[in-house]
Structure formats: C-alpha cells, structure tokens
Amino acid sequence: MFEILKHFESKYGTLKKKGLRIEGLSMIDPKRKKHVIIISKPFMFDNRQLPKTYEGLDIKAKIEGVLPKEFAIKKDAVKKEYVWAPIKFEKYVDRCADEIRRQFGNPDMTRQEMLDALAFGNFEEHKKKSLQLMKDGKIPPFKMN
C-alpha cells in the first residue's frame, strides 16, 4: 500500500510547486478495507494533471484556501446550496478568464479547457454527474444558467 503512495508521490510530486499536497493514505471503508490517497490543492489548480484513481486507489482531493465569490455559500441561507454547481464554474471562468490563463501559463486556453481544468478534470462529466445527483435528491437543486 505504501509502495503505491511512494509511486504516486514520485510521479506527481512535481505538482507540489503548483500547490498540491499529498497527505497520505486513508481508510474510508473499514468493512471492505477500502483505502484512498488523500491530497489537497488550491482551487486554482489544473485538475486535468491528476488521475481519478492510481493503481487501484481512488484519489480524494480537498480544496485549500479561499474560494472565489461565485462559490461562496451564505451561512445563514434557509436553502442549502450545492457549492460545486456547474453554473458557478461557468460564471467564474467568464469573469476571470484572463486571470485563469495567466495562472495556468496558457494565453491560448479556451473556455472549455478552463472549465475542464477547474471542474475536476472534465466539466461535461461533472455537469452530468451533478444533474444526476440532483435528480436523486443527494444534493440541493441548482440552476443550470
């Protein structure tokens, strides 16, 4: 198990310069002995550079630091909001495209590439998954546009 973590660290350790922190292994399901690799990263991170799984272990990521205003949740709001609603990514990318391009060092980055980079590696997949979770009642309803 620790060998897998070592391999992961050697393969993705260069991303530490961009804010990635590899926190280690964690058991999330003791009955099935399911382990994950826990990482943390800033919101402004190109998630396309990381896999969803590595050598059979899921990658669980936490966002560190302050989120942009589009993702702010009002603490006293009566209705709960889904912090990762797809429309929030779109509004942020539309408002901050130049800053995002500068941060990622890619002046030719398209809107779709920015959405993919910020929305966990694949924006359309995130959108589809979010809609399904909303339909299943697992996350609060959100607007699409």
* pLDDT tens track for 112-136: 999 999 999 999 999 999 999 999 9
* Reduced DSSP (H G I as helix, E B as strand, rest coil) percent helix, strand, coil of the chain, to 5: 45, 20, 35
Q: Is the pLDDT of residue 78 over 70?
A: no
Please state, in angstroms and rounded to a whole number, the distance separating the CA atoms of residues 103 and 50.
17
Q: Is the pLDDT of residue 17 over 70?
A: yes
40-70 residue pLDDT tens: 999 999 999 999 999 999 999 999 999 999 9
Domain boundaries, the chain: 2-64, 69-135
Q: How confident is the model at residue 142 (pLDDT cuts 50, 70, 90)?
A: confident
Please state, in angstroms and rounded to a whole number, the distance separating the CA atoms of residues 85 and 107.
26
Mean residue pLDDT across the chain: 93
